[in-house]
Structure 1
């Protein structure tokens, strides 16, 4: 069993071995004599990944077995993992028992499954440099899969053509502009060229997968977090409008494909989450790919980018161009982290609390109509987590009944943080632990990184006071947190020293309208409360500790 490029060499070597070895073992004649009999395709509703399940019958052996290959469509449809199942009925039954509403399992004609498997294997061979994205099991079984395909008569080693014709792309853009979703953008983003932005989206989805109608949270993350900042040269108005066009286009595509509205909401939530990062990166020259960097340089020189003759002339006259260095999006590997660092991450309060939350919510617990934990669940969690929330608080002779989990800010914050970090997610009125977080059970440092990465976009104080009607959506301390951490990284600072700096920045940057905040002493006291809360939150993540409290 060898990959296609080495087939002829292997055949020659096998022939030589036959001449040397006197007698072959009894099982030698039946090696590779397998017949595919049935096939299934398991996938998520978004189409991000598919598991191709094939049943094979081995000549001269009792029973049948399963070959399961994982295909990732966010990697251009490459196969990336594989495993062998001794009992196919058990494999299929395990998929059918899945309670995740995102999962689908359908039996498919075996010829169709074989063709899809061939395409996935061919794409993996085409992108052979992406080996770090595939499992060791895939590397070990790659030759076996190709041998099974050849035995089944699937000998073409090239993937099916997924090129989307230009005429089809232009028609899709026109249909979107004429749709209710596209038509509403004219008033929403009046200064943007919606048709141009839609064409960019269709082109990116067509070029990188060949399925412009397929959208998912992962697709949005790939497009707004990487492709668009790296590929698209947009002015400020166009860049600001792109997330709105993505939302509208995703709704348009979902209507075309029949995607349930609950899943569409997950896509839109991802756009909301990534919009600030996208707006930061789209204007960063160091993020641009070479083509975008060259075009940006030409545009800065006044070259008309719609005139190819002008572009060619400018390139010939300009000589060598120095391009900005690509901005790195990769962290150093956690695999080489010292043991004490891993142990420190594992012992952080935030991971302990996330462990309680994921264990409590498990496969899912019902939320209220307003998306809050039930009051019964909230009572249990306040105790389990040890939050400072007070339920049915008594002041003097009066007891104030807690009527909703929305009245418990610390519990609400921890749940929002866990959702933002990917430990929990809301699905059809329930809150449940995610499989992705469970897969990191033995990787506490990676869990800690995900938790801390989620904190800045979440906004520590904004998330903590999310249900407080007396607080705004933007918090001063959230804006100043990066600068505070930068100061603390250089040297330890007394709490009052940090508070002095916060007050000075606040007075320089803000005009205080509320009478309470116009008094300097009252203002310092209020900002001090917020700074104490920020210190507690940073302490939960072991980012910073207040040692003088």
Structure 2
């Protein structure tokens, strides 16, 4: 890697030694890891840092290990035991020299050693096209409380598209529900894992710089649950008391799947005018009950006026669409013994 890039990192690390903030240092390390990976310079940087040997270089290696940017063997080898005492670098608050190696080691060893104190999950917008998964942390000494906020896109399948680290007061006006930390942590890991398999997904430009820290934080949460179902469906108790309503709701539940918080006018139209005619086999009672079932679900999902207007527009067409065999997909045709060449 270029000497200028390495020297810039060392200068930044020198400033971080003055601040002695584990959180600030981990955020810097996450950005550095993303930049090195994008430039293909990770291994070159690690070699330079190991050869350099200065306190700033050791800090960079330790911080990169704390955010999971190194493999387990390298991380173990880069614990900060070998730091040598230095003096003459003023601290920001007192103008006095930095402490000896013992105190430096004290705050450096706290990096990555956090305790999860809570979790929240819910819609980021009225239609739930993006949901927020939030975890709250403090370091083991109780200092620097912070929250990790990850935006998870629903139309793109549930992948991570944005993230930030903030203070707890950031949640004040979001209306998110408290959730099990292990479930939220698992969803964050699932969202990042999915993002690695999707080419060309639209994500925030700032996401790569938060990803290493986000993944490392999520992995510290006890009792992680991967692939956890969303309980929104099982908590819904307002299925109308109509013939066929339970059957209709079963198809609605099948359609929303593991993304039940996403309920927009576009998704309503897709369900009523495309998915049901293509995929669903329903009794006449279920078809008749479906509009009221969808209205009840829509009220539960926020009672958005635009969603209700979309139901009013599309629901009257449902019986005719369900009766049109030319709209049936292959699975429905096979189930009903319809000729496949009618498609």
Aligned to 1:406: none
Rounded to whole Å, the distance in 2 between the matches of 1:86 and 1:8 is 22
Among residues 126, 149, 153, which one is paired with 2:218 in the alignment? 149
Question: After superposition, what is the alpha-carbon deviation per residue over 1:15-68, rounded to whole angstroms, capped at 9, x for unaligned?
Answer: 46679x975995753432333445555635665543234443356897443321
Aligned to 2:111: 31
**Mind listing any 5+ residue stretches in structure 1 that lack a counterpart?**
97-103, 184-192, 301-320, 325-549
Aligned to 1:105: 175
Aligned to 2:255: 204
Matches within 5 A, 1:481-520: none
Q: Cα 1:36–1:157, aligned 2, differ >3 Å: closer, same or farther? A: closer
Aligned to 1:57: 138
Aligned to 1:483: none
Question: After superposition, what is the alpha-carbon deviation per residue over 1:190-245, rounded to whole angstroms, capped at 9, x for unaligned?
Answer: xxx7775454334434xx1285x99553541442355324423579x89xx95x64
Aligned to 1:247: 291
TM superposition shift of 1:277: 9.0
Matches within 5 A, 1:162-177: 176=239
Rounded to whole Å, the distance in 2 between the matches of 1:284 and 1:59 is 63
Contact 2:130 2:262 in 1 (8 A): no
Aligned to 2:306: 266
TM superposition shift of 1:129: 3.8
The 3-state SS of whatever aligns with 2:312 is helix
Rounded to whole Å, the distance in 2 between the matches of 1:199 and 1:42 is 23
The 3-state SS of whatever aligns with 1:160 is coil
Contact 1:41 1:113 in 2 (8 A): no
Contact 1:51 1:70 in 2 (8 A): yes
Aligned to 2:279: 231
Among residues 169, 174, 190, which one is paired with 1:122 in the alignment? 190
Rounded to whole Å, the distance in 2 between the matches of 1:140 and 1:323 is 51
What's the RMSD between the two structures over aligned residues? 5.2
Rounded to whole Å, the distance in 2 between the matches of 1:61 and 1:151 is 16
Rounded to whole Å, the distance in 1 between the matches of 2:166 and 2:259 is 35
The 3-state SS of whatever aligns with 1:105 is coil
| TM-score between the two structures when normalised by the length of structure 2 | 0.51
Q: Cα 1:40–1:16, aligned 2, differ >3 Å: closer, same or farther? A: closer
TM superposition shift of 1:176: 4.4
Rounded to whole Å, the distance in 2 between the matches of 1:134 and 1:157 is 26
TM superposition shift of 1:248: 0.5
Contact 2:136 2:145 in 1 (8 A): yes
Matches within 5 A, 1:421-432: none
Rounded to whole Å, the distance in 2 between the matches of 1:60 and 1:176 is 49
Rounded to whole Å, the distance in 2 between the matches of 1:143 and 1:323 is 51
Question: After superposition, what is the alpha-carbon deviation per residue over 1:82-103, rounded to whole angstroms, capped at 9, x for unaligned?
Answer: 32245443x34xx63xxxxxxx
Aligned to 1:299: 338
Computing the radius of gyration over CA atoms, which structure comes out larger, 1 or 2?
1
Rounded to whole Å, the distance in 1 between the matches of 2:232 and 2:133 is 24
The alignment status of 1:158 with 2:202, answered yes or no, reads no
Rounded to whole Å, the distance in 2 between the matches of 1:28 and 1:290 is 60
Question: After superposition, what is the alpha-carbon deviation per residue over 1:109-164, rounded to whole angstroms, capped at 9, x for unaligned?
Answer: 7xx2453242343255368544555524445534422311232334x352224599
TM superposition shift of 1:270: 1.5
Rounded to whole Å, the distance in 2 between the matches of 1:247 and 1:151 is 45
Question: After superposition, what is the alpha-carbon deviation per residue over 1:339-394, rounded to whole angstroms, capped at 9, x for unaligned?
Answer: xxxxxxxxxxxxxxxxxxxxxxxxxxxxxxxxxxxxxxxxxxxxxxxxxxxxxxxx
| TM-score between the two structures when normalised by the length of structure 1 | 0.35
Aligned to 1:526: none
Q: Cα 1:48–1:37, aligned 2, differ >3 Å: closer, same or farther? A: same
Rounded to whole Å, the distance in 2 between the matches of 1:150 and 1:253 is 34
Q: Cα 1:119–1:248, aligned 2, differ >3 Å: closer, same or farther? A: same
Q: Cα 1:87–1:115, aligned 2, differ >3 Å: closer, same or farther? A: same
The alignment status of 1:14 with 2:75, answered yes or no, reads yes
Rounded to whole Å, the distance in 1 between the matches of 2:311 and 2:282 is 18
Aligned to 1:546: none
Contact 1:214 1:253 in 2 (8 A): no
Aligned to 2:149: 68
**Mind listing any 5+ residue stretches in structure 2 that lack a counterpart?**
1-29, 34-67, 85-100
Rounded to whole Å, the distance in 1 between the matches of 2:159 and 2:144 is 27
Q: Cα 1:11–1:38, aligned 2, differ >3 Å: closer, same or farther? A: same
Aligned to 2:160: 80
